[in-house]
Amino acid sequence: MTTLEARPKVGVPGIAARKRRDGADPVVMITAYDTPFARIVDDAGVDLILVGDSVADNVLGYEDTLQVDVAQIAHHVAAVARARPRALVVADMPWMSYHLGPADALRNAAVLVRAGADAVKLEGGRRRLPVVQAILDAEIPVMGHLGLTPQSVHALGGLRVQAREPEAAAELLLDAKALAAAGCFALVLEGVPDAVATAATGAVDVPTIGIGAGADCDGQVLVLHDVLGLSTRPSPKFVRRYADLATIARDAVAAYAADVRSSAFPGDDETYHASPALRDSLAARGD
Ligand code: KIV
């Protein structure tokens, strides 16, 4: 078994080949937005770290993901990259960073790569092909994202499960095949019925990474703040919360506040003591 210390940097070709139908282990992706959490998730052995535009609603206090731009994502990508993770770092291309044409999209993708991303992710199907092609032509790996695409929140009329009808499911399958044929190395499938994700997973030769897409995808992704119980919002059905760090953190800060108020902090061990000579000289000043 490979120890974590010996684990080599995860590469795009290795991820692109991870199909469970070929006997591969499921791909594990999770978000992170800063250096300490990038270290933690990397030490936990995830395959991919997604610097998601979900930083907007999970860290920056916005209502949706539409509020962050390339500079903000690049800032968080750089923080994650400074952890020097073995996991592949995927940067989300934020809303309006790839909607103005291939040249603009490529310039923005390059900003994210120069900030430390190994690959970029963008939302949408066949209509994104020219943009996907331009980014791939510059040797930047692209991850697709289909189904419930949060940057389309207004067009979709809310964040709701997609591809529930046969026509919409058929469109999604065409999108998945087109993105895979164009050269995307993996596809996120978000918020779709399990049978749709199963069909998409069977239809493409690159891994599908599900979030609210059932158990048959080639991998899974969750938002770190949901997994750790740091999110203050009610969790969607597909989230499994593995810890309640919000309660742990609040209790810790409340204990600190109580110690300060009762003068129990700082204690003797937490204090830099003056030498007797310094004490004497201060006392002699008589200030
Ligand atoms: O930004 C994000 O966290 C994402 C995941 C939900 C896939 O795009």
Non-local (6+) Cβ contacts of 258 within 8 A are 264
* CB 92 less than 6 A from any atom of ligand 1: yes
pLDDT given at position 234: 83
Residue 7 lies in a domain: no
Structure-block tokens of residue 213: 């897409």
CA distance 164 to 148: 11
Whole-structure pTM value: 0.95
pLDDT given at position 231: 83
Q: Are residues 136 and 267 in the same domain?
A: no
Would residue 167 show up in a list of annotated catalytic residues for this protein?
A: no
Beta bridge partners of 50: 31, 90
Report the nearest-CA residue for atom 1 of ligand 1. 52
Range of the domain at 34: 12-243
Residue 140 lies in a domain: yes
Q: Are residues 204 and 264 in the same domain?
A: no
Residue 234 lies in a domain: yes
Closest ligand 1 atom to residue 29 Cα is 7
Q: Are residues 224 and 168 in the same domain?
A: yes
CA of 2 to the centre of ligand 1 (A): 29
Q: Are residues 256 and 124 in the same domain?
A: no
CA distance 117 to 80: 9
pLDDT given at position 1: 47
The type of residue at 207 is P
Q: Are residues 81 and 194 in the same domain?
A: yes
Mapping DSSP onto H, E and C, the string for the chain reads CCCCCCCCCCCHHHHHCCCHHHCCCCEEEEECCCHHHHHHHHHCCCCEEEECCCHHHHCCCCCCHHHCCHHHHHHHHHHHHCCCCCCEEEEECCCCCCCCCHHHHHHHHHHHHHHCCCEEECCECHHHHHHHHHHHHCCCCEEEEEECCHHHHHHHCCCCCCCCCHHHHHHHHHHHHHHHHHCCCEEEEECCCHHHHHHHHHHCCCCEEEECCCCCCCEEEECHHHHCCCCCCCCCCCCCCCCCHHHHHHHHHHHHHHHHHCCCCCCHHHCCCCCHHHHHHHHHHCC
pLDDT given at position 5: 58
Residue 215 lies in a domain: yes
* CB 227 less than 6 A from any atom of ligand 1: no
* CB 221 less than 6 A from any atom of ligand 1: yes
pLDDT given at position 4: 54
Contact between 77 and 91 under an 8 Å Cβ cutoff? The reply is: yes
Pseudo-torsion of CA 154, 128, 136, 54, nearest 10°?
A: 10
Q: Are residues 178 and 263 in the same domain?
A: no
CA distance 99 to 95: 8
pLDDT given at position 214: 97
Q: Are residues 215 and 280 in the same domain?
A: no
CA distance 26 to 20: 6
Q: Are residues 24 and 163 in the same domain?
A: yes
Residue 50 lies in a domain: yes
Q: Are residues 265 and 155 in the same domain?
A: no
Residue 257 lies in a domain: yes
pLDDT given at position 287: 80
Report the nearest-CA residue for atom 8 of ligand 1. 52
Pseudo-torsion of CA 259, 263, 266, 267, nearest 10°?
A: -110
CATH number at 76 reads 3.20.20.60
Q: Are residues 31 and 125 in the same domain?
A: yes
pLDDT given at position 237: 92
Closest ligand 1 atom to residue 150 Cα is 8
CA of 57 to the centre of ligand 1 (A): 11
Q: Are residues 121 and 61 in the same domain?
A: yes
CA of 221 to the centre of ligand 1 (A): 8
Nearest to 86 by CA among 5, 9, 6, 12: 9
Residue 1 lies in a domain: no
CA of 69 to the centre of ligand 1 (A): 15
Q: Are residues 264 and 202 in the same domain?
A: no
pLDDT < 70 positions in the chain? 1-6
**Domains in the chain, number:** 2
Residue 179 lies in a domain: yes
Non-local (6+) Cβ contacts of 164 within 8 A are 193
